[in-house]
Structures are given as C-alpha cells and as structure tokens.
Amino acid sequence: MNEEPKQTSLASPAADGPEPAPATQARELVPAQPRLPVAQPAPKPLPRRRRWPRVALALAIAAVLAGGGYYYWRQSQSALPAGIVSGNGRIEADEIDIDTKFAGRIAEMLADEGDMVKAAQVLARMDTRDLEASLKKSESQVQQAQQVRDEARANVTQLTTQLTLAQQEFDRTSALSARGYATKELLDQRQQALNGATAALTAAKFRVDEADRAIDAATHDAELYKVNIADNTLVAPRDGRIQYRIANIGEVLPAGGRVFTMLDIAYVYMDIYLPTDEAGKVRIGSDARITLDAVPNVSIPAKVAFVATQAQFTPKTVETKDERDKLMFRVRVKIDPERLKARAERVRSGLPGVAYVKYDPAVGWPEKLQGNVAK
C-alpha cells in the first residue's frame, strides 16, 4: 500500500529557510545613536480654583498681623491706669529763619551749624558801605541845616533891635507931631519904617522855623540809614542752636534771602494724635510726660499746650458712631521753657518717643513715669 507524501503549507513554520531572528537581535545590529535633549513642555498654570487658597492664606496672615498690632496697642493702653492716655510722636522745636532785610553781599559770618547762640548775638554782617556813605551825607546835611538855623536866629535878633528902634522913633515923632514940632510926613515915614521892621522880623522867624524843619528832615534821614545799617547786622532773635547755614561769605542775596535757620530751644514740643473719646477729655494745661526712645528710662514733665478743634485724617462730616470713633485729634504737649534753659545743650529735634497725657487730675503717675523724672 503506497503512502501519500505529506504536503506542507506555505504558512507553516517549517517553510524553507531558517526561522527569522527576534526583533531584539535586529536592533542590536544597528549602531546606537546619541540621545538629543528634548524640550519639556511648560507647566500648565494652576486653575483659578487652586490659587484661591494662596490668596486666602495671605489675607489670613495680614489679618493676624493687623490684629496683633491692634492687640499690642490695646495692651500698651491697658497697661496705663484709667485717666492717662498716650501717643507716639517726635520732639520738635520751632524753626526761625534769619533772613536779610535788603539785597546785599555777605561781608562777615560769625556762626556755623550746631553753634549755640544767645538772643541779640551777632551772627553775620552784610556789606553796608553804600549805606554808610549815605549816612555821612545826611549827617552833613544836618550840620548845614543847623548853621542855616543859627544864621536865621541871628537875623531875628538883629531885626528885633531894628524893630525896637523903629518903634521908639515912631513914638517920639508921634508925640512931637501932636504938639506941632514934627510934620505929618515925618510921622508917616516913621510908621512905614516900623511896619517894615515888623515884617522883616516875622520873615526871619519863619526862616528859623524852616531851618528847624530842614534839621528834622536831615536827622530823620540819618536815623533811617542808621536803622538800615543795623538791620544789615543779622542777630539771633532768641536763644537757640544754628540748624542750617544756607549762605556763605561773599554771596549776594536778594531782599529776604535766608542765611541761617535756627531752633528756638525755648519752644520744644511733641504732637500726638488721640481718638475722639480720649481727645475729648484732654484739656489745655493738663499734666503730661514725654519719654524718648533714646532715653526710655527718663520721663520729661510737660503740659498740654494745644488741642485741635478739627479732626485729622477723616472727613469733616461723619454720620455713624463707628466713623466718629475713627476721628483723630492733634494734641500738642509742650516742655516747660524754664526747664529747657538749663538743658539747652541736650535739646534735639526729631527724636521719636511717646507722650503721656493725664486728663484726670486725681490719677497718679505710674512708677515708670514718676521714679526717674528729669529734675
């Protein structure tokens, strides 16, 4: 019995040729290529819903800080007994500008920045040669007018004697004419001579008055030049310290040109701001204390010198109580000038500190504001 040969299918793995190599082997035959950097895509922005937590966190931190500041302020206020309030401020002193009255050139400087000066102390002198020349001219005119007056007075004396003689001659001629020993013509001549002497004497007296007026005018001119020369000598109006020197020797300044700025050490104060409920209880003359950050263990006695009649930082008209509570009023606390005179060298402007105001006289100062009071 003959057997039929087996037929193989084209799809059979037993096809002609060796079995194909796997894909890994094929990749090993290709040489490795260097890897190039590939740009990474930009991160997508977070959705708005994810940013809200960050904003809320920032607001919460700000609220905590604000609340902490308010709590600290309330704690500092609560540390004071009832009847005493406080506020922050800076020590200030009145500034006085020392200016020229007339246009001119600075001839001499006798002070500098930082110098302590006394009232009426000479600080600078302006060039006054032109005024001095005008003064000499006026003084010469005064002397000339005096000579004219002396001459007019001498003329009055002379005319007075002539008038006396004319009067005597007229009287004698009048007596003789009444008895027939003098003619009417001679009597008329004596009358005319008497009238002329009288008129001449009157005119001479007027010339004396005119000379007196000329002397007064020339004297006033001389006094005016003396005043102008004195005004060109710049002096300190008060005791104080030279804060700034704006000009120098040789500079030509206009009328009103500033040369120095000085601090009036007799008027030293601190301005603080208090809310409505506290400012309304403060009165002018209320006792106060000032402590400076530079010397916190020393409290300076002072008095309330001014309380503003209008609020600061807020509208003039408010409707609700909450808005009224936000009103801040300026209060000025002034140091006693007599106390400052003995400590002029220590006065400084611009130093920060705290002012305490006692609006209730029955309340005593706490120990920190009483034990180390500057004597």
Question: Does 364 share its domain with 267?
Answer: yes
pLDDT tens-digit series, residues 2-16: 444 444 333 334 444
Out of 210, 231, 252, a domain closes at 231
Within a domain: residue 25? no
Q: Which of 110, 50, 56 is nearest to 245 (CA)?
A: 110
By mean pLDDT, which of 47-51, 129-133, 194-198 is the weakest? 47-51
Within a domain: residue 239? no
Q: Is the pLDDT of residue 125 over 90?
A: yes
| Residue 236 three-state SS | coil
Question: Does 154 share its domain with 198?
Answer: yes
Number of structural domains the chain divides into: 2
Question: Does 160 share its domain with 210?
Answer: yes
pLDDT tens-digit series, residues 144-192: 999 999 999 999 999 999 999 999 988 988 888 888 888 888 888 989 9
Does this model's pTM top 0.85? My answer is no
Question: Does 222 share its domain with 141?
Answer: yes
Give 190's contacts (C-beta < 8 A, 6+ positions apart): 166, 169, 170, 173, 174
Identify the domain containing residue 275 by its residue range: 82-96+263-369
Question: Does 271 share its domain with 337?
Answer: yes
Within a domain: residue 251? no
Within a domain: residue 66? no
pLDDT tens-digit series, residues 308-360: 988 876 655 555 555 555 678 999 999 988 888 777 777 888 899 999 999 99
User: Quick one: average pLDDT of 97-103?
Assistant: 95
pLDDT tens-digit series, residues 305-318: 999 988 876 655 55
How wide is the angle at C-alpha 294 spanned by C-alphas 239 and 76, nearest 5°? 120
Question: Does 142 share its domain with 182?
Answer: yes
Within a domain: residue 31? no
Q: What is the pLDDT of residue 296?
A: 86
Q: What is the pLDDT of residue 372?
A: 54
Q: Which of 296, 269, 292 is nearest to 368 (CA)?
A: 296
Q: What is the pLDDT of residue 17?
A: 44
Within a domain: residue 238? no
Within a domain: residue 279? yes
Question: Does 88 share its domain with 143?
Answer: no
Within a domain: residue 203? yes
Question: Does 90 share its domain with 175?
Answer: no
Q: What is the pLDDT of residue 15?
A: 40
Question: Does 280 share its domain with 214?
Answer: no
User: Quick one: average pLDDT of 242-255?
Assistant: 95
